[in-house]
Chain A
Amino acid sequence: MTLSAQSLLSADSLAQIDKEVAKYPADQKPSAVMAALRIAQVEKGWLAPATIESVAQYLGMPTIAVYEVATFYNMYQLEPCGRHKITVCTNLPCQLQGADTVADYLKQKLGIGFGETTPDGRFTLKEGECMGTCGSGPLCLHNNHTMHAHLSPETVDKLLDELK
Chain B
Amino acid sequence: MSAPYTGPKVCLWTLDHANPASLETYVANGGYSALKKILAEKTPAAEIIEQVKISALRGRGGAGFPTGLKWSFMPRNYEGDKYIVCNSDEGEPGTFKDRDIIEFNPHQLIEGMVIAGYTLGAKAGYNYIHGEIFELYESWEKALEEARSAGYLGNNICGSGWAFDVHAHQGYGAYVCGEETALLESIEGKKGQPRFKPPFPASFGLYGKPTTINNTETLASIPWIMRNGGQAFLDLGKPNNGGTKIFSISGHVNKPGNYEIPMGTPFADLLVMAGGVRDGHTLKAVIPGGSSAPVLPAEIIMACTLDYDSIAKAGSMFGSGAVIVMDETVCMVKALERLSYFYYEESCGQCTPCREGTGWMYRVVHRIEHGEGRPEDLDLLMSVGNNIAGRTICALGEAAVGPVQSFIKHFRQEFEYHIEHKRCMVGA
Contacts and interface: CB of A to CB of B under 8 A. Distances in A.
Contact of B94 (A76, A92, A129, A146): A92
Interface stretch (B38-46, B109-117, B165-173): B165-173
Contact of A75 (B81, B131, B256, B346): B131
Contacts of A37: 172
A5 to B, nearest CB: 16
Interface stretch (A24-32, A110-118, A151-159): A24-32
A131 B98 CA distance: 12
A48 B250 CA distance: 39
A37 B169 CA distance: 13
A33 B192 CA distance: 13
A132 B207 CA distance: 28
B198 to A, nearest CB: 23
Nearest to B123: A25
Interface string B150-191: 000000000000000001111111110000000000111111
A74 B348 CA distance: 12
B169 A73 contact: no
A137 B251 CA distance: 9
B400 to A, nearest CB: 13
B191 to A, nearest CB: 4
B308 interface: no
A78 interface: no
A69 B135 contact: no
Nearest to A29: B189
Nearest to A68: B191
Interface stretch (B85-93, B376-384, B391-399): B85-93
B114 to A, nearest CB: 16
Contacts of B91: 129-132
A74 B81 CA distance: 32
Q: How big is the A interface, by class?
A: 35 or more
Contacts of B314: none
B191 A72 contact: yes
A132 B189 contact: no
Interface string A79-115: 0000000000011110111000000000000000000
A142 B338 CA distance: 23
Nearest to B99: A132
Contacts of B192: 72-73
A75 B95 contact: no
Interface string B323-365: 0111000100001001100100110100000000000000000
Nearest to A73: B172
Given A92-B338, A145-B134, A130 B93 contact: yes
B291 interface: yes
B172 A76 contact: yes
Nearest to B255: A135
B321 to A, nearest CB: 13
Contacts of B107: none
B135 A145 contact: yes
B285 to A, nearest CB: 11
B207 to A, nearest CB: 6
Interface of B: 81, 90-96, 98-99, 126, 130-135, 167-175, 186-192, 207, 248-252, 256-258, 291, 322, 324-326, 330, 335, 338-339, 342, 345-346, 348
Interface of A: 23-25, 28-35, 37-38, 59, 61, 65, 68-69, 72-76, 90-93, 95-97, 128-137, 141, 144-147
5 contacts: A93-B256, A96-B250, A97-B256, A135-B96, A145-B134
Given A61-B189, A136-B256, 4 more contacts: A76-B172, A92-B94, A129-B345, A130-B95
The list of the 3 closest CB pairs from A to B, nearest first, reads A30-B189, A131-B132, A75-B173
